Amino acid sequence: MDTNSRIRGAAAAVIGARHLRAARNGQDAAAVWIGEDAGAVVVCDGCGSGASSEVGARLGARLVLAALSRRLAAGASPACRDTWEAVRLEVIGALEDLVRATVGEGGAAARAAFIEEHLLFTIVAAAVRGGEAAVWALGDGAYTVAAQTRELGPFADNQPPYLAYDLLGMPQRAEHEVIDATAAGAVIVATDGAAEVGLDVFGIEACLAHPDALRRRLTVLARGADQIDWGAKRVVRTPAALQDDGAVAILAWRGRPS
């Protein structure tokens, strides 16, 4: 969790119950940044078929947040699509450098294989600066503004758009929604696994009350429960609500600075 007197934020990601049973790595990531007069959050979800897509998701969350926070701190507006397109170009440049450094002279096939194995991830991000706020997304997931939740996807053939498709010459369209910052006061962004649970279970004040509150909430949702029915002499098992990996980030603000 990160906070200042006007803007507060929290971000957390956990491994879902299904992946815990299979001893798989978590493929979701989340990050938060709070500045003097601005804040940003981002969640990323690695492609399920990518053998190591958690690598891209974790890198992506940090790269998007770093590029976005620098621009917000310099006075850029989250309501301006050009701000987000500049972030996109910077992140793609960083990923391109990574691909070149790792694949070397391996050729087009090796390049595509590395991207598909490591770098396919979705993005849902939100930012506020002054009296302006916006959500930017590429891929599936969800976000909530003023108690209204918008789900992104599903997409045809269960194939959401990914930022890394830019590296393959197949750029995808991103979503950009400007928020009435004065009326909203907060935004919650989530990957599709967390969205399946329902974003109404993440109370903003409760999840911002403690630095670890949001992660604890996600952890509880990813655990099942066993109760003994002594009369029937059996164990009643309640499955975990969060079966898929889940990442959630919350950004909340009060008023508008003078």
CATH number for the domain spanning 207: value is: 3.60.40.10
Beta strands in 100-241 (DSSP E): 121-129, 132-138, 141-145, 148-152, 175-180, 186-190, 225-229, 234-238
Note the pLDDT tens digit of each residue in 31-85: 999 999 999 999 999 998 888 999 999 999 999 999 999 999 999 999 999 999 9
SS3 content of the chain, % helix, strand, coil (to 5): 40, 30, 30
- The reply to whether 122 falls in a domain is yes
- Which residue is listed with tokens 């938060």? 32
- The reply to whether 229 falls in a domain is yes
Compute the C-alpha angle 111/116/121, nearest 5°.
125
Owning domain of residue 182:
2-253
Please tell me the predicted confidence (pLDDT) of residue 183: 87
Stretch 178-197: mean pLDDT: 94
Please tell me the predicted confidence (pLDDT) of residue 4: 64
Sheet holding 28-34, edge to edge: 28-34, 38-46, 121-129, 132-138, 175-180
> What is the distance between the alpha carbons of residues 108 and 116, in angstroms, rounded to a whole number?
12
- The reply to whether 258 falls in a domain is no
Task: Give yes or no for a contact between 31 and 249, defined as CB atoms under 8 angstroms apart.
Answer: yes
> What is the distance between the alpha carbons of residues 164 and 153, in angstroms, rounded to a whole number?
18
- The reply to whether 74 falls in a domain is yes
> What is the distance between the alpha carbons of residues 114 and 100, in angstroms, rounded to a whole number?
10
> pTM, whole model, 2 decimals?
0.93
Please tell me the predicted confidence (pLDDT) of residue 3: 64
Please tell me the predicted confidence (pLDDT) of residue 256: 55
Note the pLDDT tens digit of each residue in 197-237: 999 999 999 999 999 999 999 999 999 876 777 787 777 77
**How many domains does one find in the chain?**
1
If pLDDT is split at 50, 70 and 90, which confidence band does 255 have?
Answer: low
- The reply to whether 116 falls in a domain is yes
Amino acid code (one letter) for 221 = L
